[in-house]
Chains A and B, each alone.
With several copies, the nearest count.
Chain A
Amino acid sequence: MLTPKDFNSDYQNQWCPGCGNFGILEAMKDALATQGIPPEKILIISGIGQAAKTPHFLNCNMFHSLHGRALPLALGAKLANHDLKIIVNSGDGDCYGEGGNHFIHAIRRNTDLTLLVHNNQVYGLTKGQASPTSGLGMTTALQPDGVISEPFNGPAVALSLGAGFVARGFSGNKEHLSSLIQKGMDHKGVSLIDIMQPCVSFNKINTFEWYKERVYETDNPEPDDLPQAMKLSMEWGDAIPIGIFYQTKKQDFTSRIKGLEKGPLIFRNYDPQEANSIFQGS
């Protein structure tokens, strides 16, 4: 039996005290322990940002890559070895800003991985610029007149792209979040969990209290009812639902690739004879 402690890292945490990321970290440990997969069998991939530092604070395999680029890197790893159990930790800037194009196309592919977007509605690590999810009017040193672009709604966009698993979580509700993560991990294909995460240093609007007052738990009663899912994903303001907005079965990407039927690429044998016969025949 694994416990959350089995995922503790010796490496010293670097987040601000009180940061919402701690809740996500704890929920992850809880989910992983419950899933019963030992740390050495898990691969966590992240971009760059406060969210993307998460894997350093766990003791799994990890690749802390470039800002915005976790998803294509994860796909590459998955192509090489589709037995890998992959979790991606990304920020709202990382995933929806710099990495926006990869986000779209990862969903189109339906790569089997669990995508946790630590959505603090701000650029944390670079000290407080607006992010794609910052609310209209939010002012920062770089947006002194306030944000004027419509906030990016990850779950809604994922739904419009045909995602098979779309959920929203809250870092302040650890148990609920842990269960979302577990369900996401159980789901074959891409599972997006957009997690509302207070940034105590830079987001003075969407604070812990702010979320606390608004968040309510709900799941889509018919998980594959797309219009209803769309409605849930767009609910924002006085009441903000958390839960699974949408779920449906879809073949995941590597299962659709003919050449992978014989097992993960890295476990197959080099075949010089076949290569030679390709040469001879060409």
Chain B
Amino acid sequence: MSTHTNIDMTIKIGGAAGQGIQTIGNLLARACRDAGFYIMAINDFESRVRGGHSFFQMRISDKPVYAPHHRIDLLIALNRETWDLHKDQLQDDGIAILEVPLDSPSKQVFEVEFSTLAKEIGSSLYSNTVAAAVGLSILGASFDKIADLLSWQFAGKKEDIIQKNIKAARLGYDAVKDIQFSRQPFLKTSNPKGQIMEGSRAIALGAIASDCRVAAFYPMSPATSIMQHLAGWTNRLPLVVEQAEDEIAAVNMVIGASFAGARAMTATSGGGFCLMTEGLGLSAITETPIVIVDAQRPGPATGLPTRTAQGDLLFAIHASQDDFPRFVFAPGSLLEAFELTQKAFALSEKYQVPAIILVDQYMVDAIFLLEHSFTFSKKVERFTVGDKDLKDPKNYNRYELTPSGVSPRALPCTGAARVIVSSDEHREDGHITEDIDNRNAMVNKRKSKLPDMIREMSVPQALYPEAKIVLLGWGSTSGSIKESVEGLRNEGMDVGCLLFTDLWPFPTAIVESHLKDPVKIIITVEQNSGAQFGHLLKEQTGISCTHAILKYDGRPFYPIEIMDAVKEKEKH
């Protein structure tokens, strides 16, 4: 890579939990964004609060980037473990800044005693500021910029604190000013290209763009951050966020709120979703709209609580006893997260069925640059009725049989229409019956929504779909897959991809048309060990994947891993 052609570099800062890695990350990300670069970064941490090993890894580029890179140009190691674990990732011409000296010196490695410098200011707590300044200094940022950033980061803190941080930064900045590094992107800045955003925020913004008014949850990584954003906005919007005693309560609160007329959602991870499956069925038989976000992490059971996975696809589609219609979406970008959350709310309410949004720790915790502003529509279309919309409100039937399967939904205690709802099989008026004809009519009613629901599903995003090798992906792997496709094409391979966001009801017809050519090599790329999407595809279309590229170690895909695996599969 040479600075005058284009910029695409990766910086990684590693240390123990509690060393303030995330603050360093925030500073670096903000600086790069302000300097006009595209960025994306992953947060990698263990299921503990202090100690252990965690890192922030950011890619900086002058072109949009949607996936992490496997090689590191600049490594800042606040502890020894970071060096040991990641030294192999260092580019041949990359450099590393270490707190702890190495046994055998290397010309790529420089020493900076972050904590010693910090203590000069008064406390080792300033180590992270020192480290951030070290990084920015090496990348060529001006000290003024760094000082500005610190004022922004610590806005609201005492002036004294801000000044001490600026001093700490100065020490770090100066400590490395003699290091010559081939990449100095800050020498070539431009206007900011957009806004920094995590996936969790995009989902939360999607919820408020949907006029979500009640969010109930039980804390669970990696879903909690979505609720945390919402909780911060409750005093600015008609929105209540309630922490439930468990996930069962959370989903039932959401059902109750929705029944009473508020759009409502919950967010959890697989283990919590298990506990919500009975509620999912309740939403289905009572035809009460709900939105559930399942932020996936590796399982089974507790698994790897703070890591990423795509292991809940088939579970989400089949969860809860007996058959019923539902929606399942899986966004692959910030914009998709924002828009699919709105789609989930709208369609869940329009069809009176539950909607599930599958994201994962990578998607939720990673930060990306949002190039285009989110737009908030002036009006949110609601699909409820009141007395005025009803011919005979006094004899209102909540489950009136209609050609579309959707019955007018009135809200309790808002008029003369009495709303009668039961989780037992029920008549049109909502009361229980075990009658055979009624049972058949009600199952058919619910099922009859499916054709319309399928028509709402968007086509998968297709990149070179006519290629001989087609990679299939869904949800968060979209960025890595696209980059690997471009990479492989640059190497002369005829590769394309189909990236799915609208997963259920499965858009069978659309997919078949894309994959019907029998000589195609179809490869499903997933973050699970079972090739779940591959199975779904076969079940729905009869099409078998030729190969599967599966990663289930809890870390997101690097494009190179997909590229290597494709080449490997091609050989066989």
Contacts and interface: CB of A to CB of B under 8 A. Distances in A.
- Do the two chains touch directly in the complex (Cβ atoms below 8 Å apart)? yes
Interface of A: 11, 14-17, 39-43, 45, 48, 50, 53, 56, 59-69, 71-81, 83-85, 97-98, 100-102, 104-105, 123-127, 129-130, 132, 141-145, 201-202, 257-260, 262, 265-266, 268-276, 278-279, 282
B224 A126 contact: yes
Contacts of B422: 56, 62-64
A102 B279 contact: no
Given A64-B421, A76-B264, A126-B221, A142 B228 contact: yes
Interface in B193-251: 195, 197, 201, 205, 208-209, 211, 213-214, 216, 218-221, 224, 227-229, 231-246, 248-250
Contacts of A273: 376
A69 B374 contact: no
A84 B412 contact: yes
Contacts, number: 260
A118 B258 CA distance: 27
A64 B424 contact: yes
Interface of B: 18, 47-52, 195, 197, 201, 205, 208-209, 211, 213-214, 216, 218-221, 224, 227-229, 231-246, 248-250, 252-262, 264, 271, 278-279, 282, 286, 301-302, 373-374, 376-380, 411-424, 430-432
A84 B413 contact: yes
A3 B377 CA distance: 48
Nearest to B262: A80
Given A101-B245, A102-B248, A265-B238, 10 more contacts: A16-B49, A64-B421, A65-B252, A66-B282, A76-B258, A84-B412, A144-B231, A271-B237, A272-B376, A278-B236
Given A69-B248, A265-B238, A75 B256 contact: yes
Nearest to A266: B261
A80 B256 contact: yes
Contact of B231 (A41, A102, A143): A143
A76 B238 contact: no
A16 B46 CA distance: 13
B424 A73 contact: no
A258 B243 CA distance: 15
A56 to B, nearest CB: 6
A145 B233 CA distance: 11
Q: Nearest 5 A-B pairs (CB), nearest first?
A: A76-B256, A76-B253, A80-B262, A16-B50, A73-B256
Contact of B256 (A72, A83, A85, A260): A72
Contacts of B243: 129-130, 142-143
B219 A77 contact: no
A101 B253 contact: no
B18 A72 contact: no
Contacts of B241: 142
Given A129-B219, A272-B376, A278 B412 contact: no
Most buried by B among A48, A127, A270: A270
A75 B253 contact: yes
7 contacts: A17-B50, A65-B282, A76-B214, A102-B245, A266-B262, A270-B379, A275-B237
Contacts of A270: 211, 238, 379-380
A267 to B, nearest CB: 9
Nearest to B252: A72
Contact of A56 (B214, B302, B431): B431
A257 B418 contact: no
A96 B405 CA distance: 37
B423 A66 contact: yes
A54 B227 CA distance: 29
A77 B262 CA distance: 8
Contacts of A40: 413, 415-418
Contact of A61 (B236, B380, B413, B432): B413
A157 B485 CA distance: 60
A56 B418 CA distance: 12
A61 B262 contact: no
A34 B220 CA distance: 38
Nearest to B242: A79
Given A68-B246, A73-B252, A141-B231, A265 B18 contact: no
A17 to B, nearest CB: 6
Given A98-B245, A259-B240, A266-B411, A67 B255 contact: no
Contact of B257 (A77, A124, A127, A275): A77
A97 B301 CA distance: 18
